[in-house]
Amino acid sequence: MMEPTMDTLAHRTETDEELAAAVKAGDDLAFQELMRRHAGPISYFVRQYAKDPEDIEDIAQDSFFKAWKHIKRFKEGRAFRPWLYAIARNTALDCIKKRRASTFSELDDEENDLMFADVLEDEAPLPPELFAQAELRAELEKAMGALHPDHKAVLIMHYHDRLTFDEIAEAMDKPMNTVKSWHRRALQKLKPRLPHRK
C-alpha cells in the first residue's frame, strides 16, 4: 500500500456523501480523502473534550477507525459530517469516562440539562473572525476553558465547522431545543470573558 502524504493524495471533488458511498464499495483512497478533509476539524473538535495531546490524537484516530468499521451503517441520504461528529463525540466521552470513572460532573451536571426557565432571548451570534484569526482564536479558546465540553462543542461545530443547528442536533443526538439552549448559555458565559467584546 502506497504511503499517503498530503501531496500525493489526489484531491477529489466528490461530496462527502459520495466518498462515503465509495468507501462502502471498498475504495481506500476515498476514505483517505475523507480523513484529509476532516482530520483537522475533528482534532479541533475533540480538543473541547480532552486536554492531553495524546488523548486527542488517540480519540481522533479511534473516531476515523470506527467510521471506517461502521461505514455500512451510514445510510444514503444522510449528511456525513454530523454522523462523523457523533462518532467523535461518543468516542471522546467514552475516553473521558474511562479516565474518570467516578466523577461525571463535567458531563452530567445540571448545567447541561435543559432547564424549564431557559426561555431567554437568543444571544447575538459570535463574530466569525473569532475563529478565523489565530490571535483571536487563542483568546477565545482561553475564554472557552470554563465552559461545559458539550457547550464548547456546539460553538466549535457551529462557528468553526459551519454545521447548522440541525446537523449539530443530529451529531449530538439531542433535540434542537437543547442544542440551541447550550449555544445560548455558552454565549452568555463567554461574552463577558472576551476582552474588548460585549
Binding site for another protein (CB under 8 A): 1, 3-6, 9, 28, 31-32, 35-36, 39-40, 43, 57, 60-61, 64-65, 68-69
The residue among 29 and 93 lying less far from another protein, judged by its C-beta, is 29
- Give whichever of 20 and 169 is closer to another protein, judged by the CB atom: 20
CB of 69 to another protein, least distance (A): 7
Q: d(Cα 130, Cα 70) in Å, to the nearest integer?
A: 35
At which residue does the C-alpha cell 492531553 appear? 52
CB of 31 to another protein, least distance (A): 8
- CB 41, CB 121: distance < 8 Å: no
> Minimum Å distance from CB 60 to another protein?
6
**Cα 181 vs. chain centroid, distance in angstroms?**
17
CB of 14 or CB of 57, closer to another protein: 57
Q: How far is the CB of 85 from another protein (least distance, A)?
A: 16
φ, ψ of residue 56 to 5 degrees: the values are -60, -45
* Closer residue to another protein, CB minimum distance, 31 or 182: 31
CB closer to another protein out of 70 and 100: 70
Taking Cα atoms as reference points, which of 39, 131, 35, 19 lies closest to residue 79?
19
Q: CB of residue 138 vs another protein: minimum separation in angstroms?
A: 14
124-149 in b/e form (b: 16+ CB < 10 A) is: eebeeebbeeeeebebbbebbeebbb
